[in-house]
Amino acid sequence: MTEVVLNEPLSQVSLLFVSSALAFLALALVLFSFQLVKLSTVEAVSSEAKAASVGSTMVVEKIAADKMTATERAGFILLWVSTAILGVGVVLRGVAAGRVPWANMYEFSISGAFLILLVYLTALKIKDLRFIATFIAGFALVTVFAAVSLFYVEVQTIMPALQSYWLVIHVVVAIMATGFFAVAAGMHIFYLLKASGRAKKLFSHFPELLQMERIAYRFNVVGFVLWSFTLIAGAVWAERAWHRYWGWDTKEVWTFIIWVLYAGYLHAMATRGWNGKRAAWLGLVAFLSVIFNFTIVNLFFKGLHVYSGL
């Protein structure tokens, strides 16, 4: 390969952007939390009256019809700002390294957080998903914080094993899948909280359980298709780089486990008595496995995917 001259000063500028995004994310999270607290003090306008007249599929519009409070609007402006700043940080990191910015854990985390925010903000344009804003902001905050404080490495030239166009395809699709799974996981959490019957006032502002379950299902479906592609692309790459398409490497094992868990979730959604809470738990366990695969397996399990850079 041609020698890449790394631009370290530029990577420092990138780090500056990523760190400032952290501050904006934290502010957004505070505002969204305020909003939740505020909602928990007032009962929503009787949803039955409205829902009955428009039909069950329209229930989600109930919140859309509610006007955004100033706090909430400020929160979303901050979320957009932090996404833009993070995006600049990610792009600069790629420019500084002279390649795609997802070749180690730090880069995967910041790119991942950026894509999750982007998936969420885009989805928001189509569907009213404001109610999981706290989860999304919180999740992105934790991811970027972990990236900066735990996973940070200076820009490096990449080892020969990673010098392949599959790095672009395989990894970017994995990140996108994670983004969709994350939004669904947020939905599962609020679904389970609402279903538990606690904080009735707060959750009266949330969509109906059935509606939340359906949105989560749609995100998981897209995530599952992307994850299947990640798995196949990974096998094709492994055939090139490791002379076998599948070898039960620890990362391969966990990618497989996650695939099977989400397949289980999809089956649960089609099985009477297993949808609802059980399916939500299953979706949540599957997403926890995604996190586990990215953190614990990367750092502590022995295998061929030794790309954390730590």
* Positions in the binding site for other proteins (CB under 8 A): 1, 3-6, 8, 55, 57, 154, 156-161, 163-164, 214, 217-218, 221, 224-225, 228-229, 232, 235-236, 239-250, 253-254, 256-257, 260-261, 263-264, 266-268, 270-271, 273-274, 282, 297, 301-303
Residue placing its CB nearer to other proteins in the complex, 67 or 300: 300
Cα–Cα distance between 25 and 137 in angstroms, integer?
A: 6
- Spatial neighbors of 253 by CB under 8 A, at least 6 apart, are none
Closest separation between CB of residue 280 and other proteins, Å? 14
CB of 60 to other proteins, least distance (A): 9
Which of 63, 75, 88 lies closest to 215, judged by CA?
63
Q: Which is nearer to other proteins, 11 or 143 (CB)?
A: 11
CB-CB neighbours of 185 under 10 Å? 26
CB-CB contact of 184 with 283 (8 Å): yes
Q: Which is nearer to other proteins, 42 or 210 (CB)?
A: 210
For other proteins, the closer of residues 138 and 283 by Cβ is 283
Q: Which is nearer to other proteins, 264 or 276 (CB)?
A: 264
As measured in angstroms, the least distance from the Cβ of 247 to other proteins is 5
d(CA 254, CA 41): 43
What are the angstrom distances between the C-alpha of 202 and each of 35, 45, 127, 205, 307?
A: 10, 12, 20, 6, 43
| Shortest reach from residue 10's CB to other proteins, in Å | 13
* CA 28 to chain centroid: 17
* Amino acid occupying residue 197: G
Minimum CB separation of residue 209 from other proteins in Å reads 13
| For other proteins, the closer CB: 21 or 209 | 209
The distance from CA 38 to its chain's CA centroid, rounded to whole angstroms, is 26
Give min distance, CB of 27 to other proteins, in A: 33
Which residue's structure tokens are 């979320």? 79
Q: How far is the CB of 32 from other proteins (least distance, A)?
A: 25
Query: Which of residues 204 and 250 has its CB atom nearest to other proteins in the complex?
Result: 250
Is 139 within 8 Å of 26 (Cβ atoms)?
Answer: no
Closest CA relative to residue 146, chosen from 309, 39, 304, 295: 295
